[in-house]
Amino acid sequence: MKTSEIIAMLNTDETYNLVEAALKEADLRAMLDTTSRYSVAVYADGKIEIRDKLVGDNSWNPSDEAVAEIGVTCYQYSDGPFENYPQTELVRDLAAECEPDELEAYHKYLAEYQQSQRDFYEDEDEYTPEEYDIINWFRENSPAYDRLERRTARELVDEAENDGSYYRMLDEYIEQLQHIAGDEEA
C-alpha cells in the first residue's frame, strides 16, 4: 500500500475516529500495565487493533500486515496514573475508596504496625507508617487500590481527550506520512 493510500484511509472520518478511540484505549491500558507498550495498528482492509508488547521485547515480525502503527505508548518506570499524585492525597483517597470491611482491614494494619513499633521502641507513644508503606499495603492488600487506580487512569485519559491529545497524535502521524509521500513523489 502506498503512503498516499494510507493517508487517504486515515483521513476518512470513520477510520480517523476509530483510530482516535483506539489511541485513547491504548493509553489507558498503558497506564494500568507499565510492563508493556501499546500502539494502534491499522490494516489495509480498515481493521484497527490495539497492540501490546512487553517492554524490552525486541522481536520483529516480518509478516506484519499492518500498514500503520500509531502512538506507541509506554509508562515504564512510572507509577502509572499515580505518577504525579501527592502521596498524602493518595493515602487519603485510598482510605476514602475503601468499603467498610476494607477500611477495617486498613485500621487493623495500622494498629498492628503501631503495636510492633511500640514493642520495638518502648519510649515512643504513637507510630505511623510512612506514606509509601501505606500505599504499598493498599497495593498488595486492598481492592481499593485497583479501583482508585482505574478511576484515576480514566480521568487522566478523559483529560487528555478533552485537551485534544489523541487528535494531535494522529494528526502528527498523518503529517509525517505526508512528508514521506512528498519525498516518494520527488
CA distance linking residue 165 with residue 168, whole number of Å: 5
Structure confidence at residue 155 (pLDDT): 97
Answer yes or no: is pLDDT of 136 > 90. yes
Is residue 159 one of the residues assigned to a domain?
no
Percent share of the chain, pLDDT over 90: 66
Give a yes or no: residue 101 inside a domain.
Answer: yes
pLDDT for 125 beyond 70: no
What is the pLDDT at residue 93? 97
Is residue 126 predicted with pLDDT exceeding 70? no
What confidence tens digit (pLDDT) does each residue in 2-61 have?
Answer: 888 889 999 999 999 999 999 999 999 999 999 999 999 999 888 999 999 998 877 766
DSSP 8-state symbol, 166: H
Domain total of the chain: 2
Q: What's the whole-number average pLDDT of the chain?
A: 90
The answer to whether residues 52 and 29 touch, using CB atoms and an 8 Å cutoff, is: yes
Based on the fold, state whether residues 24 and 55 are members of the same structural domain: yes
- Contact present, 128 and 60 (Cβ < 8 Å): no
Range of the domain at 126: 82-148
Note the pLDDT of residue 51. 93
Q: Give the pLDDT of residue 10.
A: 92
Flag whether 29 is in a domain.
yes
Q: How confident is the model at residue 154 (pLDDT cuts 50, 70, 90)?
A: very high
Q: What is the pLDDT of residue 145?
A: 97
Contact between residue 10 and residue 174 where contact means Cβ atoms under 8 Å apart: yes
d(CA 154, CA 29): 10
Beta-ladder partners of 52: 38
Question: Both 70 and 12 in a single domain?
Answer: yes
Concatenating the DSSP letter of every residue in 21-79 gives: HHHHHHHHHHHH-TTEEEEEEEETTS-EEEEEEETT-----TT--EEEEEEEEE-TTS-
